[in-house]
Structures are given as C-alpha cells and as structure tokens.
Amino acid sequence: MKAVVDSLGVDPDKLTIIINQIVNFKEGDETVRFSKRNDNFIGADELLEAVGADACHYIFLERTPRHAHGVRS
C-alpha cells in the first residue's frame, strides 16, 4: 500500500493502515455484537483489558479471514 501511495506522489509515511476484526462479547446472559455501522466498538487496548492477552491471541489465531465469513477451506 505504501508503494502505491508513493507512486501517486504522496508521502508513504502519511498512510495509516487500520486493521479491525468484528467479535461478539457476552455481557451477563446477553450477547453483544460489535458494529462499526452502529458505532458500537472498542479498541484493542480495551479488549485486552477486558479479556486478557491469551484470549485475544487464541481467538485471532484460531480463525482465518476466510473462516470469518463462513467459508471453510
């Protein structure tokens, strides 16, 4: 991406890439689905504080981007 931006004559250091993943949380008995569209999301720092690093590593490594959309390899 930085090479493309550079080829367009823009300083590549001005490019910021944000990666996100939609997850569901349980709050008590209720499942909360995060949604950018509904402005219902938390940052990685809040997620780490809520569930811990080990849980985050497990969930993010357990699923590939293909699995996130219900496609199995």
Looking at the domain assignment, is residue 2 inside a domain?
Answer: no
Per-residue confidence of the chain (73 residues) as pLDDT tens digits?
899 999 999 999 999 887 766 667 777 888 877 777 777 777 778 888 988 999 888 877 887 666 555 544 4
CB 5 within 8 A of CB 16: no
Q: What pLDDT is recorded for position 54?
A: 93
Per the domain annotation, does 14 fall within a domain? no
Backbone angles phi, psi at 67, to 5 degrees: -70, -30
Domain with 38, as residue range(s), is: 19-73
Residues contacting 39, CB < 8 A, separation 6+: none
Confirm whether 42 is domain-assigned: yes
**Closest Cα partner for 5 from 35, 14, 32, 36?**
14
Look up the pTM and report it: 0.44
Residue 28 lies in a domain: yes
DSSP state of 52: -
- Domain membership of residue 8 (yes or no) is no
Number of domains the chain contains: 1
Q: Which of 61, 18, 54, 56 is nearest to 36 (CA)?
A: 18
